[in-house]
Chain A
Amino acid sequence: MVFLEFEKPLENLYDQLEKIRQISEEGDIDVTDKIKELETKIKAKQKEIYSNLTGWQKVQLSRHPERPYTLHYIQQMCKKFVELHGDRKFKDDKAIVGGIGKINGQPLVFIGHQKGVNTKMRQYRNFGMANPEGYRKALRLMKMAERFGMPVICLIDTPGAFPGLEAEERGQAEAIARNLFEMAQLKVPILCYIIGEGASGGALGIGLGDRIFMLENTWYSVISPESCSSILWRSWDYKEQAADALKLTADHMLEFGLIDDIVKEPAGGAHMEPDKMVKTLKAHIKKNVAELMALGEEERIQHRLEKYSKMGQFDIAKAKNKK
């Protein structure tokens, strides 16, 4: 198990628990009570830690190396899933995956950022930072979904679109813009879930839909706290302050009306009980797909257009007033 800095008190308790279990396996001392006591302590400590997480701590949790990634969710949720590759123009981007799967008989097109589970795979997946071909593959799959009336499920988990030379050459900006334009008027339902990191245009590029959800310990912002610190504070040392200032947690996003719901995570985060997390997400998708499928195509698009037209906070000044 990997423990984050603010989880250190838990690490001690888990260590104790492990030792006692070993003792009980070696000898015939009855430690049932001791184990129960420790488990209660762990639960209490978890509650104490996780109910008061700061923005920055949630950012750290969203990046937890043991957190489930897109393909894990899809493969666990679907009875059958076939991954599809390539944008039919240039390449297959490994940082965005997609394909068709079924949940309870309903065909769905899944699209998501994919991070790697070890050093080699992290590089292979380019740390979940997509190139234009990733966004174009996503669009190709969405258009296919539209033809066959399949709802689209987007799982978002990226530190940002890749800021590379070739990415610019092939039109990173155009690829993201095109997706926004097309997703705004796609005829099938689109559900978007932030399952880890939701950084900027790279996240939004597969993040426009009828309903937007965030898992409990994720973040969504126009910029990462680190980059924000470096630009506005002119130093990398203010990431905690930046995370607070950006109000990037799921609670804030729901309060602002920019997302539709928060998906509860198991105590300690999605990685503590991945199976439970998969079950929760699957039920959530099922319910929302059913609700959206009940609406007419044109009605759904109208709702989507209105939803985004309303986003923003501004004042109306009295005539000739400067402010």
Chain B
Amino acid sequence: MGWFKRLKDGIQTTTKFKKEAPDGLWYQCKQCHETFTVKELKENFYICSKCEHHARIGSHDYFDLIFDGKFELLFEDIRSKDFLEFTDLKNYKDRLDVAWEKTDLTDAICVAHGKVGKRPLCIAAMDFSFIGGSMGSVVGERISRAVDHCIETMTPFMIISKSGGARMMESAFSLMQMAKTSTKLAQLSRAKVPYFSFMTDPTTGGVTASFAMLGDLNFAEPKALIGFAGPRVIKETIKRDLPEGFQRSEFLLDHGFLDFIVDRKELKTKIADLLFLFENKEEI
């Protein structure tokens, strides 16, 4: 298992993109508050070894966990702009500047092409650290181009969702990205290219109500929050407390909206298995 060794060695995990993993030597689990060194956490796939809580990680962490070594980033030159000159308490332009400054990311989704178990896969992975993983025109356009790339090269496609929903500062343009991404996935489906939707904590709003729920297979990390409306809004609407485990991966699996839940430790093996199973030599 070369990839496992690689993680341990930390040779190819680019430190540049580790913004989602906390800086410094120590990490405290958000769930059980146990403290680990960051090195220990990384070696355990960013999972708490005491309570199994999956720490929130970024697109590049997933690329490192999933791809066989090298991968190529695509469509990084597409950038958000403040087309509506949207101003609330801050300017959208300033919000973008801060996000670009604070992270090494160019937007809330990152597309990469690589191999998993020697088979090609294109992954679009979202970053919560970039304006809450919100979907604006760039998220839509990068998914759109990734779909074109997958159709052209007959490469299976996977999206790793992690989002608070739509990017309000792009108003209707942001809303239309739901339509745009769903339309592109319809094209992918018509081309008979497999699409895997992998949901991580949190996957909510317009992202859930478009590409996240449209996988040929839908799967999720354990205990991820997945829903359309946020728990706070639902609580305010129904005026009572929500049941334990409501809108978590296990709840969605039980209600028939997921194919399975996958532990981060099993993720790469599982994806490699799927690529093997979906492969039809005669067609490719």
Please list the residues of chain A having a beta carbon within 8 angstroms of any beta carbon in chain B: 161-165, 167-174, 176-178, 180-182, 184-185, 200-201, 204-205, 207-208, 220-223, 228, 231-234, 238, 241-242, 245-248, 252-253, 256, 258, 304-305, 308-309, 311-319, 322-323
Q: Are A222 and B137 in contact (CB under 8 A)?
A: no
Q: Are B88 and A232 in contact (CB under 8 A)?
A: yes
List, sorted by A's number, 26 A–B pairs whose CB atoms are closer than 8 Å.
A161-B209, A161-B228, A163-B229, A163-B234, A168-B247, A173-B227, A176-B228, A177-B208, A177-B213, A180-B178, A180-B179, A180-B183, A180-B209, A200-B206, A208-B179, A208-B183, A221-B171, A223-B168, A245-B171, A246-B86, A247-B84, A304-B183, A308-B179, A308-B180, A312-B140, A314-B78
Question: Which residues of chain A have C-beta atoms less than 8 A from B170's C-beta?
Answer: 222, 313
**B28 close to A (CB within 8 Å):** no
Q: Are B176 and A311 in contact (CB under 8 A)?
A: yes
Chain B: which residue is nearest A258 at the CB level?
B172
Question: Which residues of chain A have C-beta atoms less than 8 A from B177's C-beta?
Answer: 311-312
Contact code string B145-168 (vs A, CB < 8 Å = 1, else 0):
000000000000000000000101
Determine which of B100, B141, B174, B211 lies in contact with A222 in the assembled complex, contact meaning CB atoms within 8 Å.
B174
The 10 closest A-B CB pairs, nearest first, are A163-B229, A312-B137, A180-B182, A232-B88, A313-B83, A173-B208, A173-B228, A222-B175, A177-B213, A308-B183
With both chains docked as a complex, state the minimum distance between the C-beta of B221 and any C-beta of chain A, in angstroms. Answer: 17
Q: Are A177 and B238 in contact (CB under 8 A)?
A: no
Q: Are B140 and A317 in contact (CB under 8 A)?
A: no
A204 to B83, CA, bound (A): 22
Determine which of A174, A245, A258 lies in contact with B213 in the assembled complex, contact meaning CB atoms within 8 Å.
A174
**B212 close to A (CB within 8 Å):** yes
With both chains docked as a complex, state the minimum distance between the C-beta of B150 and any C-beta of chain A, in angstroms. Answer: 14
Interface residues on B, range: 35 or more
Q: Are B175 and A172 in contact (CB under 8 A)?
A: no
- Which of A169, A178, A180, A185: most chain B Cβ within 10 A? A180
Q: Are A222 and B171 in contact (CB under 8 A)?
A: yes
Looking at the complex, which of B14-22, B185-193, B276-284 is the stretch in contact with chain A?
B185-193
A321 to B171, CA, bound (A): 26
With both chains docked as a complex, state the minimum distance between the C-beta of B188 and any C-beta of chain A, in angstroms. Answer: 10
Chain B: which residue is nearest A312 at the CB level?
B137
Determine which of A174, A246, A309, A313 lies in contact with B81 in the assembled complex, contact meaning CB atoms within 8 Å.
A313
Say yes or no: A222-B81 contact (C-beta < 8 A), given A172-B228, A185-B190, A245-B86.
no
A323 to B78, CA, bound (A): 9
- Which of B173, B206, B228, B256: most chain A Cβ within 10 A? B228
A200 to B166, CA, bound (A): 9
With both chains docked as a complex, state the minimum distance between the C-beta of B176 and any C-beta of chain A, in angstroms. Answer: 4
Question: Which residues of chain A have C-beta atoms less than 8 A from B187's C-beta?
Answer: 305
Q: Are A220 and B172 in contact (CB under 8 A)?
A: yes
Q: Are B229 and A322 in contact (CB under 8 A)?
A: no
**B184 close to A (CB within 8 Å):** yes
Question: Which residues of chain B have C-beta atoms less than 8 A from A168's C-beta?
Answer: 227-229, 234, 246-247
**Additional pairs, 14, CB under 8 Å, beyond known A164-B229, A168-B246, A176-B209:** A177-B214, A178-B213, A180-B178, A180-B183, A222-B174, A247-B171, A304-B183, A308-B183, A309-B180, A309-B183, A312-B177, A313-B83, A314-B137, A315-B78
Contact code string B200-212 (vs A, CB < 8 Å = 1, else 0):
0000011011111
